[in-house]
Amino acid sequence: MAIGSGWTGLLEEASPKTVIMSAKLYVGNLSFATTELDLQDLFGQVGNVVDVKIIQDKFTGKSRGFGFVTMESGEAATEAINKFNGYSLDNRALTVNEARPPEPRQDRFFPSEAGRGGGGGGRDDRRGGKGRDFRRR
């Protein structure tokens, strides 16, 4: 994990609660009406909020129903998880937990070994249905 990426992991285990060194939180099950300002106000109740980002669909610009809140300290992040996980905001029970680093994604357009092209039938398949006959009988 690169330094400065905003995720540093767990510091230590403490009784039934976990003390978090990272201050970046995942917030899920958001209403599409919830704004970044709503999250700023809510999480500001437990500590200083450094950044709020609601993830939006790149084509429609609408919320995807989750986001990230960066708290100033790990203690504030731990308190936010304990207080707001399951909290009802806009009639939705929030899911709040420590943000994990993104998993590496395989290239969706050119898979590593498959090469380019593919799909479609052979030259003899002029119906385009992979040999299926859809005519009524």
Boundaries of domain holding 27: 21-98
Residue 119 lies in a domain: no
pTM for the full model? Answer: 0.64
Q: What CATH number does residue 76 fall under? A: 3.30.70.330
Residue 104 lies in a domain: no
* Residue 133: band (very low, low, confident or very high) from pLDDT cuts 50, 70, 90: low
* 103 pLDDT above the threshold of 50: yes
More confident residue, 85 or 19: 85
Q: Is residue 96 within 8 Å of 26, Cβ to Cβ?
A: yes
* Tokens coding 67: 């986001």
Residue 137 lies in a domain: no
Question: Which DSSP helix (H) or strand (E) runs through 25?
Answer: strand 24-28
Residues 6 or more apart in contact with residue 1 via CB below 8 angstroms: 7, 8, 9, 101
Q: Which residues pair with 68 in a beta bridge?
A: 26, 53
Specify the number of domains making up the chain.
Answer: 1
Average pLDDT, the chain: 79
Residue 55 lies in a domain: yes
* 42 pLDDT above the threshold of 90: yes
Q: Of 83, 23, 28, 27, which Cα lies nearest the Cα of 48?
A: 23
Model confidence pLDDT, tens digit, residues 52-100: 999 999 999 999 999 999 999 999 999 999 999 999 999 999 999 999 9
Q: Which residues pair with 53 in a beta bridge?
A: 68
Residue 73 lies in a domain: yes
Q: Of 77, 121, 112, which Cα lies nearest the Cα of 98?
A: 77
Q: How far is CA 109 from the centre of its chain?
A: 21
Residue 80 lies in a domain: yes
Residue 74 lies in a domain: yes
* 30 pLDDT above the threshold of 90: yes
Q: What is the pLDDT of residue 106?
A: 78
Residue 32 lies in a domain: yes
More confident residue, 15 or 91: 91
Q: What is the pLDDT of residue 132?
A: 62
